[in-house]
Each structure stands twice: as C-alpha cells, then as structure tokens.
Structure 1
C-alpha cells in the first residue's frame, strides 16, 4: 500500500537544495509526483507531493526532517484517502493594475459558489506601456458538478468591473474562452 506525503519547505536558497531533497526522497524509497517551487523575496519555497510504501513513510519523514538542520522550515503532512467530490475543471485568467485585495475578492466569489482553487499562480510585473505594476493570475478551478457556471461568471463579471481587471473564465475542454471585463 502506498502513502502520499506532502512536504513544504521554506528557507534560505542554495545551489543543490532541490537535488538534496530529491536524493533523500529517493534513498528512502519515495517517488516524486508533483511540485511547485520558487524563490520568493530571497527565500526558497517549495511544496512537493511524494509517494512511498506505507512501511517506509516514517523513514522518509525522518530523512526529510533532517533538512531542518540546514536552516529550512520543514512541514510534513500525510495525504488523505477520502475520494474527492466530482469537479469540473475550469481555468481563470486575470490581469489588471495591482492593488491589495484582488486575490481575496476573487476567491470570496468562488468560495461562495463552492468552487475550489486547485492551482493558483500569481505575479506582479511592470506593465508594457507605462511600467505600472500589473497583477496577473492564472487558476485552475474545480467547479462542483451541477453548478451553473454562468451564475459564477455573472458574479465574476460584476467584480471584474468593480476591480477594473480583465478576466477570462473558460472550460479547458471547450474553446474559445469568454472574456470578462
């Protein structure tokens, strides 16, 4: 039987850090399934999904906890075995002038409709025309089966107008995307 292990790391970045994590996982019989890693504000931050035989999970956890001696904050969580509710994938793309609260405002609408955020990538970068900070977000959403996506889209359209952002909500299984402004 296999066990999922979710590893979160935060700490000083250094060459070879990812290789060290991967080597410890491999040595303990772990299989690296998914990860998201970035250097943020001079620090390394990463989330990794590992899979390991259940009888080797404690060995893998101990090997990964040894990384704390290198100045890393290490969090480990075993995955749950409960089946996920049926969800329909939808992609959300957003761009607009940066301001505090965009993520909270958008996710509040999604939460109200029972839509889960499966992945979220954001960045703040200079605009091409005037150099003003532009906020960009791309999210993969899980929409509960049976939920009318047009209702969610209507609420997002109202918010997009208020926030003055451009927003696209589209089904990756169907094209073309619908622009919301």
Structure 2
C-alpha cells in the first residue's frame, strides 16, 4: 500500500537542488506526483506531493530532514486526506491596482463568502501606458455545492471599484 507525503522545500537556489530531492525520494521507492516550484528573490521554493510504499515513509521523512546539511530545508508530512461535503471549484481571475493588504482583503472576502482557496498565483505587472504596478491573481476557489458564486464575485468586487473579477465554472 502506498502513502502520500506532502512537503515544502526552501533553499538558496543553485543547480542540483531538484536532483538531490528527487534522488532522496527515489531511494525510498517514491514517485513524484505533483509539484509547484519557483525561483523567488534568489531562493528556490517548492511544494510537492510524492507517493511511496507506506513502509518507507518514516525512512523518507528521516532522509528528507538530513538534506538540511546541504542547505535544503524540507517540511514534510504524511498526507491526511479528509473527505468533506461536495464542493464546486471555480476558476478565478482578478486584476486591479496594487495596494498594501490586497491579499489579506482578498482572502478575507473569499473566506467570508464561504470559499476555500485551492490554488492561487499572484504577480505584479506593469500597467499598459501607465507603468504603475497592477495586481493580478489567478487561481481556484472551492465553494459548497449549494453556494452562490455571485456572492463570491460581489464580496471580491466590494474590495474596490478598480478590481476586475472573472469567475468561471
């Protein structure tokens, strides 16, 4: 029987980081299932999920911890999958003027409308012909199956008149 391990990885970016991580996983019969990786301000940041035989999880967790001696910080846990009530997943795209606290306000609006952030990518882009920073967020939000997506849109649009909100089912 296989078990899943979910982890976050942080290290000063350099060649060979992903190789060291994947070698450790493979040494325990692990299979890399999904991941998100990025170079942010000189750092490598990643989140990933692997599967390995349940009998190898403790060894994998121990060996991942030893990567700290190579400057690779790994936080890893066995996946505790919990099934809940049926939820609808919506695709979210938001563009607007950047300002301090926009993520805090956005996440509060989503939670207040009963939403759960499943995936979120944010960036700052240069406004066409103006050059000031424009906030851009794309992601997936889940709502209870009986919730009204219009309430989510309204909650986000109340954050300011400059926000353009698009939600697709």
Does the alignment reach a TM-score above 0.5?
yes
1:23-172 alignment runs, 5 A limit: 23-161=23-161, 164-171=162-169
Report the Cα offset of residue 90 of structure 1. Answer: 0.3
Report the Cα offset of residue 35 of structure 1. Answer: 0.7
- Runs of 5+ unmatched residues, structure 1: 172-181
2:157–2:163: 8 Å Cα contact kept in structure 1?
Answer: no
| CA distance in 2 between partners of 1:81 and 1:151 (Å) | 28
Q: 1:129 to 1:139 in 2, by over 3 A?
A: same
TM-score w.r.t. length of structure 1: 0.87
2:28–2:60: 8 Å Cα contact kept in structure 1?
Answer: yes
2:157–2:164: 8 Å Cα contact kept in structure 1?
Answer: no
Report the Cα offset of residue 78 of structure 1. Answer: 1.2
| CA distance in 1 between partners of 2:93 and 2:85 (Å) | 24
Aligned pairs, number: 169
Establish whether residue 18 from structure 1 lines up as the match of residue 18 from structure 2.
yes
Report the Cα offset of residue 126 of structure 1. Answer: 2.0
| CA distance in 2 between partners of 1:40 and 1:149 (Å) | 33
What is the SS of the residue equivalent to 2:62?
helix
RMSD: 1.4
> Deviations for 1:58-84, whole angstroms, at most 9, x for unmatched residues?
111122112111112211111113214
| CA distance in 1 between partners of 2:17 and 2:81 (Å) | 30
1:29–1:60: 8 Å Cα contact kept in structure 2?
Answer: no
1:160–1:167: 8 Å Cα contact kept in structure 2?
Answer: no
TM-score w.r.t. length of structure 2: 0.93
2:12–2:42: 8 Å Cα contact kept in structure 1?
Answer: yes
Q: 1:16 to 1:3 in 2, by over 3 A?
A: same
> Deviations for 1:125-170, whole angstroms, at most 9, x for unmatched residues?
2223222111111010111111122222222222242xx2211112
| CA distance in 1 between partners of 2:158 and 2:73 (Å) | 41
